[in-house]
Structure 1
Amino acid sequence: MQTTLAQYNETQSTDAFTLQNSKLLKVSLAGKTIQAKLGSMVAYQGDVTFEHAGAGGMGRMLKKAVTGEGQSLMKVTGTGEVFLADSAQDVHLVYLEGEKITVNGPNLLAFDADIDWDIERVQGASGAMGGGLYNTSLRGTGWVAILSDGPPVLLNVAGAPTFADAQAAITWSQDVTTSLKTDFKVKNLIGRGSGETIQMAFKGEGWVLVQPSEGRVEAGPTNGSGGGLGNLLGG
């Protein structure tokens, strides 16, 4: 039999996190533990265990309940290889070395279990305008896998005043500060404006990653393996 399937052979790498392709993350566990978006497993080989990760403390559980921010996570541990994906979105890897990044919750795919996470209000978000703007912060040393709905653009915040839609700005580095830029005018309220009445402003020494989308609508559980695992783990 002649096929062209060899081009899809498993990627070989000594890194714990590696891209099988632009839409599929391969994680080599080797006895370690990671946390991943609930239902993101598409395949695995070896002796691997999945369990609901919970919020990791009462404080974070309350923040998740109040803000609606933060993914439902699963702990993945064992010896083997796990392949993770979400709706064929693009996957990007960031390696932290004692650093912090901020991530839009739905765009977080997986991270090393040694990395600490929390839910934080976006700087500059307060009152009725910004009360719902919360994101997930991650700090420590290890890999973080981030999703984007299409190929993103990496903007150097120090280069020029930088603004983005709150759902399109999916992650930014620790030395970047944020604020809200509002543009409420009568024409915006009667449907003649652009609709982009609130933008996030970024400044500092660092970067922001912006996807070409305002985010996907979350699908409900399906009969597939992802939805089934999510139900099994109580997601």
Structure 2
Amino acid sequence: MNRYSLEEFVDATRQEDKGEGLFELETPRLLEINLTDQIWAKSGAMISYQGNIKFAREGILEHGLGKMFKRAFSGEGSALMKATGNGKLYVADQGKKISIIRLAGEAFYVSGNDLLAFEPSLKWDIKLMRKIAGMLSGGLFNIRLEGYGMVAITSHYEPLTLVVSPNQPVYTDPNATVAWSGNLQPEFVADVSLKTFVGRGSGDSLQMKFTGDGFVVVQPFEEGYFSNDS
């Protein structure tokens, strides 16, 4: 354990401006947003701010009836807050590691539980895994982002990106799956032989299968979308 005098502690942990633009990693688990206009962030992610910033929960009709119904189905995990104004906004999510990605016209899927913040220039939509919605309580949902702008995602510990190719599909535990490229369409497969091998939270044998050309991001942790009781 590091031991500091009070002055040393303040110096060691003091906020620093790094000049990295809108999104700046103050620490690996704390995102500083240098706000000059507007940003979308996960509801409840704000831990501190400086300046003149106003916060509002996502309006239930703000993005149309389609998204309203999807949000009602997917639950609070997809709820967003809108921060508007000028100042410094600090956001985090349960101490998870933060990665910043700049999209340049691509599409990108993020698990609803792992989206931290994104620029309003990006188009977004909630996507539900309908095939399993009736099988598992609440189903599984993710956010599709597309366009030009930055997005911050979170993962428990260090994320790992796996390449998907036409002759090499990738199988993942749904609870450990963080994100994937926009051209991939995952499907759910069941293999009872995996029952005693896969993680405790994956509904025993249910796995996600990714085929095509792209990538999938996983984390060494199970979020707990599914349980053995599902």
User: TM (normalized to structure 2)?
Assistant: 0.81
Distance across 2 between alignment mates of 1:71 and 1:209: 19
Distance 1:116 1:70, change over 3 A: farther
Determine which of 178, 189, 197 is the counterpart of 2:186.
178
Q: Give the letter aligned to residue 213 of structure 1.
A: F
Q: CA RMSD in A?
A: 2.6
1:37 corresponds to 2:45:
no
1:87 corresponds to 2:97:
no
Distance 1:67 1:47, change over 3 A: closer
Give the deviation of 1:114 after TM superposition: 1.9
Distance across 2 between alignment mates of 1:82 and 1:193: 42
Contact 1:108 1:145 in 2 (8 A): yes
Give the deviation of 1:17 after TM superposition: 0.7
> Could you give the per-residue CA deviations for residues 32-82 of structure 1, whole angstroms, max 9, x where no partner exists?
200111111111111111111224221101111123375211110111111
Aligned partner of residue 176 in structure 1, secondary structure: coil
> Could you give the per-residue CA deviations for residues 143-178 of structure 1, whole angstroms, max 9, x where no partner exists?
111111221111112283311111211111112231
Contact 1:54 1:72 in 2 (8 A): no
> Could you give the per-residue CA deviations for residues 2-41 of structure 1, whole angstroms, max 9, x where no partner exists?
51543433242242111111100011112x2001111111
Distance across 2 between alignment mates of 1:90 and 1:179: 27
Q: What residue is the counterpart of 1:162 in the other structure? A: 170
Give the deviation of 1:109 after TM superposition: 0.7
| More divergent stretch after superposition (172-181 vs 34-43) | 172-181
Distance across 2 between alignment mates of 1:126 and 1:46: 44
Distance across 2 between alignment mates of 1:121 and 1:114: 23
Give the deviation of 1:196 after TM superposition: 3.2
Distance across 2 between alignment mates of 1:83 and 1:46: 12
Contact 2:171 2:210 in 1 (8 A): yes
Distance 1:76 1:127, change over 3 A: closer
Aligned partner of residue 192 in structure 2, secondary structure: coil
Q: Give the letter aligned to residue 45 of structure 2.
A: S
Q: What residue is the counterpart of 2:19 in the other structure? A: 13
User: TM (normalized to structure 1)?
Assistant: 0.80
1:143 corresponds to 2:150:
yes
Larger relative contact order (Cα-Cα within 8 Å, sequence gap ≥ 6): 1
Distance across 1 between alignment mates of 2:58 and 2:169: 39
Q: Give the letter aligned to residue 34 of structure 1.
A: I
Contact 1:112 1:144 in 2 (8 A): yes
1:22 corresponds to 2:18:
no
Q: What residue is the counterpart of 2:228 in the other structure? A: none
> Could you give the per-residue CA deviations for residues 159-217 of structure 1, whole angstroms, max 9, x where no partner exists?
833111112111111122312221136x95xxx66563010011222211101111169
